[in-house]
């Protein structure tokens, strides 16, 4: 239960809050978070040159930074041009008169949500802080920083690695060589794909945080995760094989290695929790 600290001449005494006071306090934290997200969304909406042309449509250009990096890595490791992606020239189509406007609004909102995520966690931290003991404040602060960094790293991984590879594989995929089937991509399809893949990647990178709480609730253990490590590796390799544009091992490892490292970090986190809290 959240507490309000009151100054006293001798010591600081906590005062319990009623249920309605809790709701009122939480409401203002959420209002401030929503306000920051809306402000960031407005800024993104008003700067289409940067956020739409450069960021949103960036993966459709051959000079996108990820394509240059993939190609450079391929040559550096002696694989030649096997990792060089040749982007298909596409024009995104709109099927409704208002589609561009609402897609613009949706992208601005998602961008505001991503950029405002650390502030949202900070507001939640301020809400629960009065209920924490002094020795708990430090670890929770670290948790907020780590959770924010992992989420932003996941967003970056999804945008710069996962999406370019998946997109170029799917846009160039042909189920028939007759030429009778063509892929005419719509703006809505592209928008949904890039936002979904990047957000899912951000959520996946929160795996160590999820494992932390699951271990605290004794739902999983490090022994359990080690036991099913081989199964996890198989799943990771299958996912990497699906999203990479070519069958070469280098491209698959570019996706699989970070995901496997997340799993190993999660085992370490689970082991740390068991040891710290003396869980059986």
pLDDT tens digits along 92-141: 999 999 999 999 999 999 999 999 999 998 898 888 877 767 776 777 78
Kindly list the distances between the CA atom of residue 174 and the CA atoms of 59, 82, 170, 177, 184, in Å, as whole numbers in the listed order.
20, 20, 8, 7, 13
Range of the domain at 75: 16-173+183-205
Let me know if residue 11 belongs to a domain.
no
Let me know if residue 245 belongs to a domain.
yes
Same-domain check for residues 223 and 159? no
Let me know if residue 162 belongs to a domain.
yes
The gap from C-alpha 33 to its chain's centroid, in whole angstroms, comes to: 19
The pLDDT of residue 198 is 93
Pairing between strand 3-6 and 13-16?
antiparallel
Token pair in block for residue 200:
């899912």
Within the chain, strands assigned E span 3-6, 13-16
What gap in Å lies between CA 55 and CA 66, rounded to an integer?
Answer: 12
Domain count, the chain: 2
Chain segment 151-188, per-residue pLDDT in tens:
999 999 999 999 998 888 888 888 888 888 888 889 99
Token pair in block for residue 125:
């931290």
Same-domain check for residues 189 and 213? no
| Percentage helix, strand, coil for the chain under 3-state DSSP, each rounded to 5 | 70, 5, 25
> Closest Cα to residue 206, out of 113, 107, 115, 117?
117
Same-domain check for residues 95 and 129? yes
Same-domain check for residues 242 and 198? no
């Amino acid at each position: 239960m959240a507490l309000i600290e009151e100054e006293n001449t001798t010591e600081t005494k906590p005062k319990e809050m009623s249920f309605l006071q809790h709701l009122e306090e939480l409401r203002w934290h959420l209002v401030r978070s929503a306000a920051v997200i809306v402000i960031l969304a407005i800024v993104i909406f008003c700067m289409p040159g940067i956020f739409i042309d450069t960021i949103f449509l960036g993966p459709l250009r051959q000079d996108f930074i990820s394509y240059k990096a993939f190609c450079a890595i391929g040559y550096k490791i002696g694989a030649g041009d096997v990792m060089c992606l040749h982007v298909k020239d596409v024009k995104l189509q709109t099927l409704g008169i208002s589609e561009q406007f609402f897609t613009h609004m949706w992208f601005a909102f998602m961008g505001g949500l991503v950029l405002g995520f650390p502030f949202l966690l900070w507001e939640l931290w301020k809400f629960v802080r009065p209920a924490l003991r002094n020795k708990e404040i430090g670890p929770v602060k670290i948790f907020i920083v780590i959770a924010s960094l992992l989420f932003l790293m996941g967003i970056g991984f999804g945008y710069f690695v996962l999406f370019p590879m998946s997109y170029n594989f799917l846009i160039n995929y042909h189920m028939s060589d007759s030429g009778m089937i063509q892929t005419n991509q719509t703006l809505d399809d592209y928008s949904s794909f890039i936002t979904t893949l990047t957000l899912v990647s951000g959520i996946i990178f929160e795996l160590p945080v999820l494992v932390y709480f699951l271990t605290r609730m004794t739902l999983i253990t490090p022994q359990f995760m080690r036991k099913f490590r081989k199964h996890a590796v198989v799943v990771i390799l299958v996912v990497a094989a699906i999203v990479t544009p070519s069958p070469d091992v280098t491209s698959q490892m570019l996706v699989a290695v970070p995901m496997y490292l997340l799993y190993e970090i999660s085992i370490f986190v689970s082991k740390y929790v068991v040891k710290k809290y003396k869980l059986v």
